Structure 1
Amino acid sequence: MHHTWTRYLTPGPVHHRLGLVCLGVGLQHGTLPVVGPRVLGHHVAVLVTAGGGWYAGPDGRRHPVTAPALLWLTPGVPHHYGADPATGWDEAFVDFTGPATAAYAELGCIDADRPLVPLTDAAPARAVVARIAHAARHGNPLLEIETAAAVHELLVVLRRTRAGTGPAPGTDPVLTGLARDAFRPLTVAEHAARHGLTPAALRAAVHRATGRGPKDYLLTVRLDRAKELLAATELPVAAVARRVGYDDPAYFSRLFTRRVGTAPARFRTERARPAPGAPGGGVPGGGVPDPEHPPAPAGESV
């Protein structure tokens, strides 16, 4: 006995330019029929929220699946899976495709080498799938846009709830330490030593957490802070450069322009809102945000 609800979608060419599109969504439970063996031309995220079963990849060997778990079905990869014939499982799935899948794979949000992924909690991803299912109703004029946006969110949520990949977001001691020391004149080797790691181990840890290398991560932290200082203070560009770790303001300006796409002075002209009475910024109440203490939503205590 099983129950199945599915919707299949056909986004137009303009929707594919959103980067990701939803091709289908389904909610199923019970002793579902076995799937495959088969090969698909698009991605599918199969979320097992209760029960168990098995999964087999290209080698045909069956691996046990116990909820909460994720099955990554990637294009061109043979797969075969099924719920336990006695107890069944609860399943939600989303079919998707688009050019952004390559970037999500590079950033570690889609892992073709790890098709069976234990999750710490299926509820957040299940809630996103429920929103996709609601958006996919007939007569919704924003159907393709809403479902596409939710697929982006789903990939992030699945990355956050993946088991065995380190601390929860915002608590990774390596990333926290790198952000804290980002403005100091330290090499990657020196950053690694401060964490008791080799440079290779640091690179592996940062890539596992962010999909990027330490240099790129540190650069992003520096430029994010530089933007905040340019927008919220009247500090000279040279002073902003020094505050984010660059003694040579000309080098900072070239680096900022290359990465951001506009020069620091122009960025300030377009975005600046200096706080009244705080021309130097960088002081409490001076308008420069503290990344570690964002404001609480209205109605919540800080």
Structure 2
Amino acid sequence: MANFSVAAYRPHIPGTAPLLGVLEYGAHRISTQIENRKLELFAVVMVERGRGRLHTASSGSQVVTAPAIFWLWPGMAHSYGPDDGTDWDEQWALFEGRIANDVLASALIEPRQPLLQLHELGEMQRLFALLRVEMGDDTHLARASAGARMQRIALTAAQQSLIERRERAEHPIAPAIETLRKRAFETVDLTRFAAEFGMSPATLRRKFIAATGVPPKAFQLRLRLDRAKEMLAISNAGIEAIAHQTGFEDAFYFSRVFAQREGMSPSSFRSTNRRG
């Protein structure tokens, strides 16, 4: 999503009580937390990129890792947003209606568990894109279509969450994380690595992000740099030796990546953090 905000608003028609009506839609990149807010309407928030937290009185505090979707009920105090120093991309909608509670209940979505992990982000993005189009047309047909779209979003989210839970049970990610931790300093082919655990590379990546907050390659890089920092601080090994021992191709590449991630060269880190 580009770094901009999109919003569409549709006024409530006095004297009407729609079965299911969508009144607001938005798409934003946010970097701040919403704190202890209450809404008069139902809300849905789809997080497309990023990681943060959601807290409600009914569900407590939960980690939100994209792709995910969560639901808020009228009068429910809630706080949410990306982790400190980061941002996330979200699309959201506010809705009302006589059957709003029934729609969520039929999809097994309830206040105690408002957060659902998505299995296929592209499908949900398509539904939200159609909702955005319908919000731009204030005709009776478009209003009815948007209400039906919201029902489809709820049912699809529930179906995807069920698939995700089944995959997680059938293919737990913990063994893969532990194995990659042991092989952190080796060259790892992710396609072959994923196959070892009965997954596709895409599934491995999605499960890694859900469990650790980063993809497999970033997880491996983090382990390599952590080990390199430890060696820089406690050993007399040269930069080239440390680079090779932590899985980097050469000292130049190691130094460049280290400086990008740590904000200083390996030599400067050693001078600042030398122990013993």
For this structure pair, what is the TM-score category when the shorter chain's length is used for normalisation? 0.5 to 0.7
Shift of the 14–148 alpha-carbon distance from structure 1 to 2, 3 Å rule, reads farther
Match of 2:27 in 1: 27
Partner Cα separation in structure 2 for residue 72 and residue 49 of structure 1: 15
Q: How many residues align?
A: 166
How much has 1:163 moved relative to structure 2?
4.2
Is residue 68 of structure 2 the alignment partner of residue 77 of structure 1? no
How much has 1:114 moved relative to structure 2?
0.4
Secondary structure of the residue that 2:4 maps to in structure 1? strand
Shift of the 59–111 alpha-carbon distance from structure 1 to 2, 3 Å rule, reads closer
* Residue type of the alignment partner of 2:6: W
TM-score, L = length of structure 1: 0.49
Match of 1:10 in 2: 11
Match of 1:55 in 2: 54
Match of 1:86 in 2: 85
The runs of 5 or more residues in structure 2 that have no matched partner are 168-276
Greater relative CO, 1 or 2 (CA 8 Å, sep 6+): 2
Secondary structure of the residue that 1:76 maps to in structure 2? coil
Deviations 1:131-161 (A, max 9, x none): 1111222566743222222112211211211
How much has 1:63 moved relative to structure 2?
2.8
Shift of the 59–112 alpha-carbon distance from structure 1 to 2, 3 Å rule, reads closer
How much has 1:12 moved relative to structure 2?
2.5
Partner Cα separation in structure 2 for residue 122 and residue 162 of structure 1: 11
TM-score, L = length of structure 2: 0.53
Partner Cα separation in structure 2 for residue 13 and residue 110 of structure 1: 29
How much has 1:79 moved relative to structure 2?
0.3
How much has 1:87 moved relative to structure 2?
3.1
* Residue type of the alignment partner of 2:10: L
For the aligned residues, what is the CA RMSD? 2.8
Secondary structure of the residue that 2:161 maps to in structure 1? coil
CA contact (8 A) 1:23 1:96 kept: yes
- Give the helix-richer structure, 1 or 2: 2
Partner Cα separation in structure 2 for residue 125 and residue 15 of structure 1: 29
CA contact (8 A) 1:2 1:32 kept: no
Partner Cα separation in structure 2 for residue 41 and residue 165 of structure 1: 31
Secondary structure of the residue that 1:86 maps to in structure 2? coil
How much has 1:60 moved relative to structure 2?
9.8
Match of 2:134 in 1: 135
Q: Percent identity?
A: 22
Match of 1:104 in 2: 103
Match of 2:152 in 1: 153
Equivalent runs, 1:145-184 vs 2, <5 Å = 145-163=144-162
Shift of the 139–112 alpha-carbon distance from structure 1 to 2, 3 Å rule, reads closer
Secondary structure of the residue that 2:110 maps to in structure 1? coil
Secondary structure of the residue that 1:3 maps to in structure 2? coil
Partner Cα separation in structure 2 for residue 32 and residue 166 of structure 1: 29
Shift of the 32–57 alpha-carbon distance from structure 1 to 2, 3 Å rule, reads same
